[in-house]
Structure 1
Amino acid sequence: MEIGDAGVAVADPAIRQKYIEERNKRLRPDGVKQFLKLANSTQFKYLDDDPWVDHAAYNAGAPALNDGDDIKFLVLGAGYGGLLFAVHLIEAGFNAADIRIVDVAGGFGGTWYWNRYPGLMCDVESYIYMPLLEETGYMPRFKYAYGPELREHAERIAKKWGLTDKALFRTHCHTARWDDAAKRWILELTENRGPVEPKKEIKLKAQYVFVASGTLNAPQIPRLPGFDSFKGQHFHTSRWNYEITGGTDVDWTLDKLKDKRVGIIGTGATAVQAVPQLAKWAKHLYVFQRTPSSVDERGQRPTDPAEWTNKIASTKGWQLARSHNFNSFLVNEPIGEDLVDDGWCRTRSYCGVIGAPGIIVPEKIPEHIARLHAYDLERAEKIRARTGEIVKDPETAEKLKHWYPAWCKRPTFHDEYLPAFNLPNVTLVDTDGKGVEALTEEAVVANGTSYPVDVLVLSTGFSLAVEGDSGSTVQRAGMKAFGRDGLDMDDKWIREGPGSLHGVASHDFPNLFFPGPSQTGVTANFTFTLSILASHVANILAEAERRAGQSNKVTVEVTKAAEDEWGGELLKRAAWFAGMRGCTPGYINREGEAGKVTDMQEQMKAARGAPWGEGIVSFTEVLKAWRDEGELRGFQVEANV
């Protein structure tokens, strides 16, 4: 390994060639079509069911919304994103009584409501990941909080801000239409009242709508020949079935697996956490791998109360300052001492997917990509070496090594995943990039070999890219939004490319807001972005209503000029993400399909949906400067009688 200017390791051409070879193994002509559309599947209909909800209790209670209601603020989503929208509205001076929350789940928490698999925890430090810690006065029990604590915190937030009785759960909003005469959104919803009572259709009016349903909400299933004939038990990690495994979502004693052969398909971030728990209990565990994760040390430990009081949470504004500090290390412009001090902060090359200061002109793209690879080399070599040191069998260790840079697949950090492969009851089945071939009545077929399994766990992730994907938040929420003159947001975004101002609102869709994910700044800590965008929108609405006076028909809409200008600014910075085209297939690049686009116009449309190329620190500064102007530049505010 050579060391170049500024102490940066020079990328090894042989390793880059290895990356290309490994990527090419995994490219598939069917792209995102390799996964089933759950809406068209009867076999996996159970993925739409909520295994955690108490329908009888909800049906006996008073609903938070009724057919015909006309409300001021409707928030679609009861996870951290939806809660942050609601909380920031309240903090901006609006009344909690005017807010209603709708979610298809049976409670608060979003992804932490649905995902309850054993081993579940956040992969970003809980002190910055869990929002509103300072405001709630809560100290997380661990540096990386486990799933139950993350769900409890969502409930804590709802209680503190008086939102517990403002939510209508088990309810899906499928259509939103703008009524320009009434200056209201007309929304059609369906409440699922369980297996005993019929579904309830609800029609509402809302002045403002916030779409915050998240991105990790649609489980995806691979198309596998023979799945219909498989007689074993199976479930997806996001709908973990403790009746099959034993244990509960708060007690991971999987005692029903003691005499079972278990297979798990997938080795991404979820499997990295679930595999060690399965390995402790299964008679035998087969781990089916298409693409290995990079697995660095996590360093999990309980929170030290003295350190929390005297150092971490000792000053006003500590959580925001700590978050800014974390972000500064991710964009390679560190501010002071490394407060979080974990693997993320040492992954310099992750800026390849989240951006960093500096605009890359087209002729400098090869140099830019080479620099990113140079940033990544030392980290990647260290992690591959760590794998070899921990996993005792050399052949297994070699197959567990990742061959792609950090910006291509979300890095993982775990202390127990790699050691699990030293257990005699754990077998890695590496498919050399091909994936599982088929299922039979009793087995999983990979590499031409049948592996008998009694229980099959699908750790195959979530659908972040589907055929005809517009990239819009409303599509990800499984709904349609029709703005002025009946304009379909998906049609607009497919035709023109993503269009918004700051990633929060789109022209021709007044009073409709969302937290990206297109056209915003991004970071490894998702909740930070959600919080700054929710605060941004709340400030916009507070100022708009201050200017409008007492009218209850205020409209706030992005102008076409502002939307185009923001799209242009994103395009100027989009070349930063040029390294993504060479990535191994995954959700980040639509299973490799993004690299197949050769039409320049289509490439430019796609580039409009890229994150802010100069990184989250710059994006935060851009929003602050815009707010400091005090002009609501780019928004048209009208107070109608």
Structure 2
Amino acid sequence: MTTDIANGANGHSQFPTEEDMTLLQLQQRYAEEAAKRIRADGPAQFLDLTDADTDRFKAIAEDPWADHAALNAKETVNDGATYKFLVLGAGYGGLLFAARLKQAGLINGPDDVRLVDAAGGFGGTWYWNRYPGLHCDVESYIYMPLLEETGYMPKQKYAPGTELREHADRIATHFDLHDKALFRSNAQSATWDEERRLWTVQVTEGRGPNEPSRELTLKCQYLLIASGVLNVPHVPKIPGLEGFGGEMFHTARWDYSATGGSYESPDMEKLKDKRVGIIGTGATSIQVIPQLAKWAKELYVFQRTPSAVHPRDQKETDPEEWKTKIACKEGWQKTRSLNFVAHMSLAAKDDEENLVGDGWTKIPAYSALIGSPGFGLVEPTPEAIGANVARLYKLDTPTTEGARARVDQIVKDPETANKLKAWYPSWCKRPTFSDMYLQAFNEPNVHLIDTNGQGIEAVTKSGLVFGGKEYPLDVLVLSTGYRSPVFGNGNPAAKTGIEVIGRGGLSMDEKWKKIGSATLHGIATSGFPNLFFAFGPQSAATANFITMLEVGIHHTAHILSKAEEKVGVGSRAVVEVTREEEEAWTLQVMMRAPYFASLMGCTPGYLNEEGHSAKQDPKEMMKASRSSGWSEGMLSYIEVLEEYRSEGSLKGIEVTAA
């Protein structure tokens, strides 16, 4: 794409301006930095901890938080039981499914819903992640769901992990879900029973280290997938990693027995005489590193790609402001959430107040990833695509230059500062926000080991090796991320790690491999009756995942309500997307795919499967284009869904009575 700017910002042949040349040089620098990091093995450079086959990595993946004795004493699910709704996931997505369906009158009896989750409690990512410094990077007033229903006021603008996990329990209490969840359990397979017109789901329930697991067969009318976005932690396949002699753990399974302190009081006194290494400088590390810097004798930060770090501006919630300006009228949370979306996607009216007013709403080029109504449909021609890419780079330049200038303003050592500067567009990685991270590199005990995009060479029993030099360590923290949310082109079965078999023995994996993504509105797919996902490919995105969940779940609840009305009391509805309407929606999505061409030049990361997406052959790229999002952004997508619901016929959905 680097030659597109030379053709002019409008995509027409003309002598390039000085601004064009500056943008061209910036794009070339970004391309060079990305090229350093491209690896032939792509996502295969990581091992998913769920697939760990060695004792060391299996131990890292275990749940350190589950109260096995208490959970074993509760029997919330019986083998062979049939439920109306079976929800895979008990994080905010699963809780929202249960809450909104209950509000819609679809859940009434004690056996109408069960939630199944691998964790030992509610919360999803906020159950697993308990590392020191953990906070949500989206304003808590719009991120924490169901604040109006529960009457809760978050303590800070950006809630810490403890509060987010507690809120999950609060939601479960409010909607009477504590005895309707099966924890420490993985769904292995789900098969559509054509004769009974139910789903049969095979589940393995773990019961702790001293108890045999239980194999359960459950049946349900509706199967709902709410497995989250970053749900499978992974570790790099570095030679010798398993043989490291010190303490080693992943940030998603923080080991306070190794560091000292606790989740509630993370005073890591055991690190005072320890040399600590951390691999990774992404969104998690931005929060962890300042905390480790306070306690470790020496902290070595191993960086492959720096993060762009913007101001956080954390503040306590003012109760008076909460009552009079924030939670001041019915529907305030939805209004505030959509206002955030509008300002992020350049869809806000000129006189529309920016209610959240945070860093996210000051990164206009992030619309390259989440879409915007202001750009229209981009024609699939080199000229039109080039013009759109150039426009996005121009929009982004003040943001990225500002982030790099901020590094110079904060980090005292010029050499360290240069290594901490991010050279890629804002949309290529999730932006980070901190008032503590860059400052940590001014501390004498913090050492940045920049690998210039190459990563660690090897691990010895005593430490990590880069550039032929060994760095001795006592504790190694793996802040190495998760399986990509675009894994399997967004296939909900693959992302969840479950085999799903629909009508006629059709495997969802095989369907996705053969034709790519195929959905209606990003929430259901043909051949798989009564199966819905909270949000999938072919829907719209924004930085606040809760908005994405709310939109998809609200739409699903509407469809199911109308379907049940149609079949009447005493009959079970079977709800299925038609192949024709699924393809019509897919065509609409593919028409919008050229808008997202700017993602192809991104540095490797979880958004592009470590650069693998950019190396696909044309046939595979065409298939991948079916997984694109809605390029006009979330508000446009919501309007489309609202029009569909207003029309009232459930076009493209067949409803029959069982």
What's the TM-score bracket when you normalise by the shorter of the two chains? over 0.9
The aligned amino acid for 2:380 is P
Q: What is the alpha-carbon distance in structure 1 between the residues aligned to residue 82 and residue 35 of structure 2?
A: 54
Any conservation in 1 of the 2:345–2:367 contact (CA below 8 Å)? yes
Q: What is the alpha-carbon distance in structure 1 between the residues aligned to residue 357 and residue 513 of structure 2?
A: 41
Q: Which moved more, 1:12-21 or 1:428-437?
A: 12-21
1:359 aligns with 2:383: no
Q: What is the alpha-carbon distance in structure 1 between the residues aligned to residue 326 and residue 29 of structure 2?
A: 42
Any conservation in 1 of the 2:156–2:317 contact (CA below 8 Å)? yes
Any conservation in 2 of the 1:32–1:466 contact (CA below 8 Å)? no
1:460 aligns with 2:486: no
Aligned ranges 1:130-529 → 2 under 5 Å: 130-335=144-349, 336-357=352-373, 358-363=376-381, 364-464=384-484, 469-529=488-548
State the match for 2:632 in structure 1: 614
The aligned amino acid for 2:38 is L
Tell me the secondary structure at the aligned position of residue 491 of structure 1: helix
Q: Which moved more, 1:396-405 or 1:163-172?
A: 163-172
Any conservation in 2 of the 1:182–1:553 contact (CA below 8 Å)? no
Aligned ranges 1:119-130 → 2 under 5 Å: 119-130=133-144
What stretches of structure 1 of length at least 5 have no aligned partner?
Answer: none
* 1:152-204 alpha-carbon deviations (Å, 9 max, x no partner): 11111111011111111111111000011101001100110111111101001
Tell me the secondary structure at the aligned position of residue 264 of structure 2: coil
Aligned ranges 1:46-85 → 2 under 5 Å: 46-61=59-74, 63-85=75-97
Q: What is the alpha-carbon distance in structure 1 between the residues aligned to residue 622 and residue 336 of structure 2?
A: 36
Q: What is the alpha-carbon distance in structure 2 between the residues aligned to residue 627 and residue 365 of structure 1?
A: 33
State the match for 2:646 in structure 1: 628
State the match for 1:12 in structure 2: 23
State the match for 1:560 in structure 2: 579
1:603 aligns with 2:621: yes
Q: Which moved more, 1:297-306 or 1:35-44?
A: 35-44
Q: What is the alpha-carbon distance in structure 2 between the residues aligned to residue 536 and residue 158 of structure 1?
A: 22
Q: What is the alpha-carbon distance in structure 2 between the residues aligned to residue 201 and residue 470 of structure 1?
A: 30
Find the partner of 2:46 among 35, 48, 67.
Answer: 35
Q: What is the alpha-carbon distance in structure 2 between the residues aligned to residue 249 and residue 115 of structure 1?
A: 10
Q: What is the alpha-carbon distance in structure 2 between the residues aligned to residue 272 and residue 322 of structure 1?
A: 27
Any conservation in 2 of the 1:470–1:491 contact (CA below 8 Å)? no
* 1:65-86 alpha-carbon deviations (Å, 9 max, x no partner): 1001011111110000011111
Q: What is the alpha-carbon distance in structure 2 between the residues aligned to residue 544 and residue 607 of structure 1?
A: 31
Any conservation in 1 of the 2:239–2:458 contact (CA below 8 Å)? yes
Q: Which moved more, 1:263-272 or 1:434-443?
A: 434-443
The aligned amino acid for 1:131 is P
Q: Which moved more, 1:329-338 or 1:176-185?
A: 329-338
Instruction: Give the Å deviation of 1:41.
Output: 2.6
Q: What is the alpha-carbon distance in structure 2 between the residues aligned to residue 423 and residue 517 of structure 1?
A: 43
Tell me the secondary structure at the aligned position of residue 32 of structure 1: helix
Any conservation in 2 of the 1:551–1:639 contact (CA below 8 Å)? no
Find the partner of 1:21 among 12, 29, 32.
Answer: 32
The aligned amino acid for 1:399 is K
Tell me the secondary structure at the aligned position of residue 288 of structure 1: strand
Aligned length: 631
* 1:453-495 alpha-carbon deviations (Å, 9 max, x no partner): 100000000012698x353112111111000011100100110
Q: Given the superposition, is the C-alpha separation of residues 153 and 596 from structure 1 closer, same or farther in structure 2, using an over 3 Å criterion?
A: same
Tell me the secondary structure at the aligned position of residue 623 of structure 2: helix
Find the partner of 1:544 among 558, 563, 568.
Answer: 563
Instruction: Give the Å deviation of 1:611.
Output: 1.2
Any conservation in 1 of the 2:113–2:180 contact (CA below 8 Å)? yes
Q: Given the superposition, is the C-alpha separation of residues 297 and 466 from structure 1 closer, same or farther in structure 2, using an over 3 Å criterion?
A: closer
Instruction: Give the Å deviation of 1:612.
Output: 1.1
Tell me the secondary structure at the aligned position of residue 176 of structure 1: strand
Structure 1 stretches of 4+ moved >6 Å: none
State the match for 2:16 in structure 1: none
Q: What is the alpha-carbon distance in structure 1 between the residues aligned to residue 214 and residue 132 of structure 2?
A: 34
The aligned amino acid for 2:181 is A
Q: Which moved more, 1:46-55 or 1:397-406?
A: 46-55
Any conservation in 1 of the 2:419–2:450 contact (CA below 8 Å)? yes
Q: What is the alpha-carbon distance in structure 1 between the residues aligned to residue 401 and residue 480 of structure 2?
A: 27
Any conservation in 1 of the 2:486–2:607 contact (CA below 8 Å)? no
TM-score for both structures, normalised by structure 2: 0.94
Instruction: Give the Å deviation of 1:331.
Output: 1.1
* 1:109-165 alpha-carbon deviations (Å, 9 max, x no partner): 000000000000100111101111111111100100000000011111111011111
The aligned amino acid for 2:95 is L
Instruction: Give the Å deviation of 1:516.
Output: 2.7
The aligned amino acid for 1:509 is F
TM-score for both structures, normalised by structure 1: 0.97
Instruction: Give the Å deviation of 1:242.
Output: 0.2
Q: What is the alpha-carbon distance in structure 2 between the residues aligned to residue 114 and residue 530 of structure 1?
A: 20
Instruction: Give the Å deviation of 1:40.
Output: 4.3
The aligned amino acid for 2:164 is L
Q: What is the alpha-carbon distance in structure 1 between the residues aligned to residue 312 and residue 52 of structure 2?
A: 39
Any conservation in 1 of the 2:57–2:242 contact (CA below 8 Å)? no
Any conservation in 1 of the 2:223–2:530 contact (CA below 8 Å)? yes
